[in-house]
């Protein structure tokens, strides 16, 4: 007990101490961050200003853009600031906040992706009932449920993690406060409770993922019965990108939280963390806009309105 000290800050050791590599890290993260920021803001503005896109699918997409903006803003700016100031520290309160808001955004993100799969299922498999089932009230309730589930998921994880005693040092082998890396620093037997929460979360996410897969199986069956080739192409173009994003999000997250942690730093851990925390917020706007004529049309109208208002 005499060797235990109160942790007041953590050191994020995700990247090299070499100044040139730190600058490279800042530049790479800045490009990713600006891509995600501009892309999600354009999606948000295009849907908000175009009344043609005020439909359930785009209502959920605008919520997804807000979540993506939040999730990538939780970790990337702090990591870049640390490299620019040649420091690695993050306060205890800052670490708690980072864990809470990141899990909140990731939980809401996956819930919204599940809701969007359900929306596509109803639109393609039960088109006659779509307006009745996905009315304004139902959409607001589904979106609110996604945000609330993210908060509950985050409170459960964050509370369990920071109720533990940290006596294994304060050096986190990651560029942000990640729960598996924090658990390596605990010396309390109660860490098993957090492991139990992680297992429960994995089972929950797996259940949602199975629901999404089953929904897409039904969608593909319905699409194959569409006589028009153009109709099949339109239906599949809205579903495949969604499935790609969900798969990347789930499999990298599973790998990060279920892989046995090692005491030595791992480049693979760093790459996986980038894949599940930074790539989806950057790729979502690109995937949903490049394959979507309505979004591209709204973006053209938006930029035209902004640039050529006087004409």
Is the pLDDT score of 25 beyond 90? no
Residue range 187-227, pLDDT digits in tens: 766 556 667 777 778 888 888 889 988 988 888 888 777 77
Is the pLDDT score of 245 beyond 70? yes
Domain limits of the chain? 15-304
The more confidently predicted of residues 145 and 6 is 145
Is the pLDDT score of 247 beyond 50? yes
| pLDDT of 34 | 94
State phi, psi for 9 to the nearest 5 degrees: -155, 160
pTM for the whole thing? 0.86
* Average pLDDT for 87-104: 92
| pLDDT of 69 | 93
**Window from 37-46, 69-78, 130-139, 289-298 with minimum mean pLDDT:** 289-298
User: Under CATH, which number does the domain 15-304 receive?
Assistant: 1.20.1070.10
Residue range 50-82, pLDDT digits in tens: 888 888 888 999 999 999 999 999 999 999 998
Is the pLDDT score of 308 beyond 80? no
Is the pLDDT score of 270 beyond 80? yes
Q: What share of the chain has pLDDT > 90, as a percent?
A: 26
Q: What share of the chain has pLDDT > 70, as a percent?
A: 87
């Amino acid at each position: 007990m005499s060797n235990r000290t109160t942790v007041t800050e953590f050191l994020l050791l995700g990247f090299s101490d070499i100044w040139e590599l730190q600058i490279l890290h800042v530049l790479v993260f800045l490009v990713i961050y600006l891509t995600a920021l501009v892309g999600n803001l354009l999606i948000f503005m295009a849907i908000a200003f175009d009344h043609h896109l005020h439909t359930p699918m785009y209502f959920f997409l605008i919520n997804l853009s807000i979540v993506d903006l939040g999730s990538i803003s939780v970790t990337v700016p702090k990591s870049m600031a640390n490299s620019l100031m040649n420091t690695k520290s993050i306060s205890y309160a800052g670490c708690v906040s980072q864990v809470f808001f990141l899990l909140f955004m990731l939980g809401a993100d996956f819930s919204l992706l599940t809701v969007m799969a359900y929306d596509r299922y109803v639109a393609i498999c039960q088109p006659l009932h779509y307006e009745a089932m996905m009315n304004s009230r139902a959409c607001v309730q589904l979106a609110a449920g996604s945000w609330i589930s993210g908060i509950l998921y985050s409170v459960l994880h964050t509370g369990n993690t920071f109720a533990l005693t940290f006596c294994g040092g304060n050096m986190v082998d990651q560029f942000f406060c990640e729960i598996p890396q924090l658990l390596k620093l605990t010396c309390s037997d109660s860490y098993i409770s957090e492991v139990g929460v992680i297992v429960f979360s994995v089972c929950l996410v797996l259940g949602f993922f199975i629901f999404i897969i089953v929904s897409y199986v039904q969608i593909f069956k319905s699409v194959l019965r569409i006589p028009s080739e153009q109709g099949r192409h339109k239906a599949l173009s809205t579903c495949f990108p969604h499935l790609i994003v969900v798969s990347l999000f789930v499999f990298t997250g599973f790998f990060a939280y279920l892989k046995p942690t090692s005491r030595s730093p791992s480049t693979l851990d760093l790459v996986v963390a980038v894949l599940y925390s930074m790539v989806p917020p950057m790729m979502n706007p690109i995937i949903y806009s490049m394959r979507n004529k309505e979004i591209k049309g709204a973006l053209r109208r938006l930029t035209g309105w902004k640039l050529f208002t006087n004409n």
